[in-house]
Amino acid sequence: MPSLPERASLEWLRKTAKDRLKTLRATEPGARLADAQREVAREHGFPSWRALKAHVEARAAQPPAPAPPSPERDAEVRTFFRLVAAGSVDDIRARLAAEPGLVHAVGPHPFWGGRPQALHVAIENGRIDVGALLLDAGADADGENQAYGRWSPLMVAAHRGQTSMRDLLLARGAAVGVVEALLLGDDAALDALLATGAEALPSPPPNDGSLLIFARTPFAVERLLALGVSPDAADRWGATPMTAFHRLGPRGRPLVARLNAHGVPVPPADSVMLAAVDGRDREMVVRLLGLGVSPNARATAQSRQTALHNAAWNGDLPMVRLLVEAGADVEARDEEHDATPQVWAETAVEVTRNPDCAAVARYLAGLVRDGRP
């Protein structure tokens, strides 16, 4: 039985059937086109022409198989992702017109690790117009997430507070699983999803840490703890539920209290300092400084950066001033990039599109210029 060619089209099959009809009529003058079509279909393993036609149409509707990873292909995809991050709508349209499969491509992140898709990058950079363009071009609202820490586009939108993108993804049919419900703070959806108990929990969870890291409500914390989720397991970046909740700033305090009530110990002071800086929790940072925690506190994982690096990356000028006035070293360098907080702020201008980072970079540059590190 002949196999169906990989790129078989209905036009090719119709021509084949017409040619077969001529052959049939040489011995069967009364043969019809339907007879020839049925014969062609059966030769390819289908019971009827209708079944063969449906198979070819369904295959044509599927996205093309992604090109296998290679340095050359990764370079092409990274270039496309940079267009997405920059919001270059006209250039993106042109690239998709030339190569529609880019909308499904998985490739190296343009700014950090992992292998996302263009839709992830659009959400991270707040490009809702680009996100809508990608979805219109056929991007899957649920994403291909295995190579990106199992983070779905909806998870990224919820985590980063991209409400417009969140709503667009939901309108386009994005699935709400357990982690999405946690990040959305949707207790009703979470309760329904966990009706079958611990078997409903994703394993392994995103980032390979505790699922509690993604909880956003006291109800979610209690529900997960009751199902045996670890209260203190660290993820691949060294984050525990306690440090993750501190990074949420004031809105994370009720979650910290829930963990405290279950006997989860407070993490080292330096970890709390960096988390509070990330959470823009000035009240907590002032309290920690008053307790003697160093303004030069460093991360124990990630890039081994200081609290000032984090504040600079966030474009949080009041926090930067607070740390500098407390004695933070403006020329401290992280251990991965060998960069100062000023360089982190300058880099964040491009990567996060936060204009406040430019003001932080100018402030720190002025301190260095004036000899006040």
- At 10 the pLDDT is 78
Cα(109)–Cα(147) distance, integer angstroms: 11
Q: CATH assignment of 297-373?
A: 1.25.40.20
pTM for the whole thing? 0.74
User: Contact, 298 vs 304, CB < 8 A?
Assistant: yes
- At 1 the pLDDT is 44
Q: What is the pLDDT of residues 215-270, one digit of tens each?
A: 999 999 999 999 999 999 999 888 899 999 999 999 999 999 999 999 998 888 99
- At 367 the pLDDT is 92
Report the share of the chain in percent with pLDDT over 70. Answer: 95
Q: What is the pLDDT of residues 181-212, one digit of tens each?
A: 999 999 999 999 999 899 899 988 999 999 99
Residues 6+ apart with CB under 8 A from 111: 85, 351
Beta bridge partners of 117: 106
Cα(44)–Cα(183) distance, integer angstroms: 49
Q: CATH assignment of 69-175?
A: 1.25.40.20
* Matching residue, tokens 């501190």: 246
Cα(302)–Cα(281) distance, integer angstroms: 21
Cα(367)–Cα(145) distance, integer angstroms: 42
Instruction: Examine the pLDDT at 61 and tell me if it is beyond 70.
Output: no
Residues 6+ apart with CB under 8 A from 222: 258
- At 63 the pLDDT is 58
- At 7 the pLDDT is 56
Mean pLDDT calculated for residue range 61-81: 80
Note the maximum CA span of the chain: 100
Cα(296)–Cα(279) distance, integer angstroms: 17
Instruction: Decide: residue 353, CB within 10 A, 0-12 exposed, 13-18 middle, 19+ buried.
Output: middle
3-state secondary structure of 23: helix
- At 132 the pLDDT is 97
Cα(322)–Cα(315) distance, integer angstroms: 13
pLDDT-based confidence at residue 66 (cuts at 50, 70, 90): low
3-state helix, strand, coil in the chain (%, to 5): 60, 0, 40
Beta bridge partners of 18: none
